[in-house]
Structure 1
Amino acid sequence: TNLLGVRAVIAESYERIHRSNLVGMGVIPFTFEDGATWENLGLKGDETVSIEGLADIKPREKKIAKVTFADGTVKEVPILCRIDTLDELTYVNNGGILQTVLRDLAA
């Protein structure tokens, strides 16, 4: 996922292992806030989503996803970072668990 340039994923919820796997691959998992769903936001899959401040993200931090629809309209959607621990933050900042282990071995 990270190899494809994916930095973050937004979902309504995660199974524990799926969230952990994303973090382990260096991808930041987010969930919608305030009862938002793909359906009630009117998302179809042709939107562009941007999230500012990923480089200095903190565990459980709230962010705003700017969703740009095909017609050019923009909607701001509150989201919650599901990096839950400082260890997970280290994995994401290093690009994943493997990269973290390799850095530790090289140090």
Structure 2
Amino acid sequence: MKKFKKIVLASALALSTLAVLPVSDTEQASAAGVDYGAICKADSKCLGVSNLGVRKNGMYSGGYTRFEIKSGAGVVGIIPSGPFTGYLTGIKAGDAVVYAYDNSDTYLIFNVYVK
């Protein structure tokens, strides 16, 4: 029985070390407070930065052909609705940053607030 307890304890400690993995680049960018306005000014394909409020389970298209989630992947999701279109949907309350691209590959940066 003592050997079993030691194995369980060792397994628990091994699993707890996995919980302290480094965060991804997008999570680091989100935590660092990236200045998306400065990024947009430096890129000629960027049309601007805008705030967008979306309700939980609500959808937004805006005529954009493609969405790219830069931060907050658990807050918003992308629902494809055809070969060249999709919808942005709110999954849970929180904040996210999403790039919305049009046909000419220019984009708008959205600060999305899901309520």
The structure where helix makes up a greater share of residues is 1
| Higher CA-based Rg | 2
Q: By the TM > 0.5 criterion, same fold?
A: no
The structure where strand makes up a greater share of residues is 2
